[in-house]
């Protein structure tokens, strides 16, 4: 069981709620932008190869950003589930307590730093964030 205080848990829950709201707004904005960008009659639109390439690049970036946001939303949901089970703040791999300072920076963190580093070494699709300072 994590030794986070009720005040710390409330602070971290509020941070998760704020980030979740931000991400939901971003996902909705991307969906609106994609809907607005789709032409009503694409067969009548004239684009050269450069415009088509630029359009595909923008769509790929938009899609990658949306997937990143959706992944973070899944991580937030998992963190809230751990809170509900009373397991929040415990490393999902080794069970040790995750430092409050780490959770302040990354409230959805599921692993202690050593386990996260091992996880990143074995999973190619993980975005590696360099340490601060």
For residue range 36-63, what is the model confidence (pLDDT) as tens digits?
766 554 555 667 888 888 878 888 888 8
Residue 91 neighbours by CB distance under 10 Å: 19
Range among 1-10, 16-25, 38-47, 57-66 with highest mean pLDDT value: 16-25
What are the phi and psi torsion angles at 93 (to 5°)?
Answer: -95, -50
Answer yes or no: is pLDDT of 99 > 70. yes
Please report where in the chains the tokens 């360099």 appear, as a residue: 130
Residue 108 neighbours by CB distance under 10 Å: 21
Query: What's the burial of 72, exposed, middle or buried (CB within 10 Å: 0-12/13-18/19+)?
Result: middle
pTM of the predicted model as reported, rounded to 2 decimal places: 0.77
| Mean pLDDT, residues 95-103 taken together | 96
Domains of the chain: 6-122 (1.20.120.910)
DSSP character at residue 44: G
The angle, 0 to 180 degrees and rounded to 10, between the axes of the packed helices 49-85 and 6-37 is 160
Q: Cα(101)–Cα(98) distance, rounded to whole angstroms?
A: 8
Q: How far is CA 16 from the centre of its chain?
A: 11
Specify whether the CB–CB gap between 88 and 79 falls below 8 A: yes
């Amino acid at each position: 069981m994590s030794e986070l205080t009720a005040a710390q848990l409330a602070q971290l829950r509020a941070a998760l709620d704020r980030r979740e709201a931000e991400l939901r707004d971003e996902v909705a904005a991307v969906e609106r932008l994609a809907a607005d960008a789709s032409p009503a009659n694409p067969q009548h639109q004239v684009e050269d190869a450069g415009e088509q390439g630029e359009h595909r690049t923008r769509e790929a970036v938009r899609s990658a950003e949306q997937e990143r946001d959706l992944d973070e939303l899944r991580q937030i949901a998992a963190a809230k589930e751990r809170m509900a089970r009373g397991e929040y703040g415990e490393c999902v791999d080794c069970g040790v307590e995750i430092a409050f300072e780490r959770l302040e920076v990354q409230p959805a963190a599921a692993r202690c730093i050593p386990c996260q580093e091992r996880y990143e070494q074995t999973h190619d699709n993980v975005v590696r964030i360099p340490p601060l300072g």
